[in-house]
């Protein structure tokens, strides 16, 4: 290659890199609009309406009682991200990415979008600067109470949240059942176990085991039908209480905290872990936390985004491995396994 052609290639690469950077900036700077487009198509159930074949916008607008041209522009924007395919004949078709928005897809996006756009989430985000200035949850500023107190006074929101947590459990139950190996334990206590979905899945794999489901009284009130449906109701003791003040179950061989620790700041977590440590007493029981681990410097992981929800909604945080070890140590536990390096992980600890 001549010097001139090498220079031309280098210039071209630079131009491409600049174009890419500009596009990245445009996408990141438009994250709000993009999220709203995804919200609208989720709210209108567009993906479900396309699973049997492409549809003209007019038909979709009539079915969803929306303005045809406005809907066309929303779908065109969604198609620019590969969520749907805009076709020559004016119809829109589903794509592999769009399938993630269908209600049938367990691992899909839909529950996450509904969670993000629920008023209990959307309104505190409008006050995110309060969280950034104070480190306190904007949720409490907006609603005048903590997240879980709000759920207790809004039963329909509480049920939505239980469903959202069960969605995550459905995605994670098999993976973590294998890692947790419930058959090692005679009695398993799920502390903050919501409506019992995860515990039920563990006990289905371990027919000789028994369990204790512990959560707020209003939450465990919904557990019975689910435990019956999974055929484990006779083996589960259901206890309603406050894990910061009520007596915790004693005599369990494993204490599970799934998606609990990340809801709270360090001192509150240490207080809760110390209560579990006291409930274990001299026994050789295990503490099993299932939560996120934040990866090191600059690495992309969803935990770094969920962490912002923890800040704004709960005043909690996602932790890196060093931070996990610190709160375990402060409460009298030591880590005994090698958890996944980042993302969803199972951390097993024993009393020191």
Ligand X SMILES: C[S@@+](CC[C@H](N)C(=O)[O-])C[C@H]1O[C@@H](n2cnc3c(N)ncnc32)[C@H](O)[C@@H]1O
Question: CB under 8 Å to 187, separation ≥6 — which residues?
Answer: 209, 210, 211, 212, 251, 252, 253, 254
Distance from C-alpha of 272 to C-alpha of 63, rounded to nearest angstrom: 50
Distance from C-alpha of 170 to C-alpha of 188, rounded to nearest angstrom: 19
Q: Which residues in the 78-137 window bind ligand X by CB under 6 A? A: none
- Residue 154 CB, nearest distance to ligand X (Å)? 13
Task: Select the residue interacting with ligand X from 116, 148, 187, 230 (CB under 6 A).
Answer: 148
DSSP annotation of 319: B
What are 120's two structure tokens?
Answer: 């209990």
Show which residues are catalytic: 262
Task: Select the residue interacting with ligand X from 215, 253, 301, 318 (CB under 6 A).
Answer: 215
CA-derived radius of gyration, the chain: 24
Backbone angles phi, psi at 59, to 5 degrees: -65, -45
Stretch in the footprint of ligand X (CB under 6 A) among 5-13, 35-43, 259-267, 330-338 = 259-267
Task: Select the residue interacting with ligand X from 169, 210, 292, 303 (CB under 6 A).
Answer: 169
Task: Select the residue interacting with ligand X from 124, 137, 193, 196 (CB under 6 A).
Answer: 193
Q: Residue 94 pairs with which residues in a beta bridge? A: 84
- Residue 352 CB, nearest distance to ligand X (Å)? 25
Task: Select the residue interacting with ligand X from 91, 259, 292, 303 (CB under 6 A).
Answer: 259
Distance from C-alpha of 78 to C-alpha of 85, rounded to nearest angstrom: 8
Stretch in the footprint of ligand X (CB under 6 A) among 4-12, 192-200, 224-232, 324-332 = 192-200
Site string for ligand X, 260-289 (x = CB under 6 A): x--x--------------------------
Q: What angle do CA 157, 163, 167 make, to 5 degrees?
A: 145
Q: Which residues in the 218-247 window bind ligand X by CB under 6 A? A: 219, 242-244
Smaller CB distance to ligand X: residue 217 or 231?
Answer: 217
Stretch in the footprint of ligand X (CB under 6 A) among 42-50, 55-63, 95-103, 253-261 = 253-261
- Residue 162 CB, nearest distance to ligand X (Å)? 7
Stretch in the footprint of ligand X (CB under 6 A) among 24-32, 212-220, 221-229, 278-286 = 212-220
Distance from C-alpha of 243 to C-alpha of 52, rounded to nearest angstrom: 48
Distance from C-alpha of 240 to C-alpha of 23, rounded to nearest angstrom: 51
User: Which SS3 state, helix, strand or coil, does residue 137 take?
Assistant: coil
Backbone angles phi, psi at 244, to 5 degrees: -95, -15
Size of the residue set binding ligand X (CB under 6 A): 17
Distance from C-alpha of 210 to C-alpha of 186, rounded to nearest angstrom: 6
Q: Does 174 bind ligand X (CB under 6 A)?
A: no
Name the residues that contact ligand X, by CB under 6 A: 148, 165, 169, 192-194, 198, 215-216, 219, 242-244, 258-260, 263
């Amino acid at each position: 290659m001549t010097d001139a052609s090498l220079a031309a290639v280098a210039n071209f690469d630079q131009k491409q890199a600049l174009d890419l950077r500009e596009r990245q900036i445009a996408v990141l700077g438009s994250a709000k609009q993009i999220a709203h487009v995804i919200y609208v198509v989720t709210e209108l159930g567009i993906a479900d309406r396309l699973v049997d074949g492409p549809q003209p916008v007019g038909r979709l607008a009539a079915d969803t009682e929306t303005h045809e041209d406005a809907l066309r522009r929303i779908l065109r924007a969604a198609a620019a991200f590969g969520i749907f395919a805009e076709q020559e004949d004016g119809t829109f078709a589903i794509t592999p990415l769009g399938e993630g928005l269908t209600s049938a897809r367990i691992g899909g996006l839909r529950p996450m979008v509904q969670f993000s756009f629920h008023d209990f989430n959307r309104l505190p985000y409008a006050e995110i600067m309060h969280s950034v200035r104070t480190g306190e949850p904007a949720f409490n500023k907006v609603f005048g109470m903590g997240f879980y107190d709000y759920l207790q006074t809004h039963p329909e929101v509480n049920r939505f949240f239980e469903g959202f947590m069960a969605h995550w459990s459905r995605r994670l139950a098999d993976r973590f059942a294998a890692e947790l190996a419930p058959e090692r334990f005679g009695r398993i206590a799920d502390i903050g176990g919501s409506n019992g979905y995860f515990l039920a899945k563990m006990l289905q794999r371990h027919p000789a085991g028994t369990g204790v489901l512990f959560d707020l009284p209003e939450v465990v009130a919904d557990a019975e039908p689910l435990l019956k449906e999974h055929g484990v109701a006779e083996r589960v003791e259901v206890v309603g209480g406050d894990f910061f003040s009520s007596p915790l179950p004693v005599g369990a061989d494993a204490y599970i905290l799934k998606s609990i620790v990340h809801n709270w700041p360090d001192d509150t977590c240490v207080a809760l872990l110390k209560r579990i440590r006291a409930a274990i007493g001299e026994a050789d029981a295990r503490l099993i936390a299932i939560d996120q681990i934040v990866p090191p410097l600059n690495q992309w992981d969803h935990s770094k985004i969920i962490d912002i929800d923890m800040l704004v909604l709960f005043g909690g945080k996602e932790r890196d491995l060093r931070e996990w070890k610190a709160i375990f140590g402060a409460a009298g536990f030591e880590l005994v396994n090698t958890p996944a390096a980042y993302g969803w992980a199972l951390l097993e600890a024993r009393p020191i």
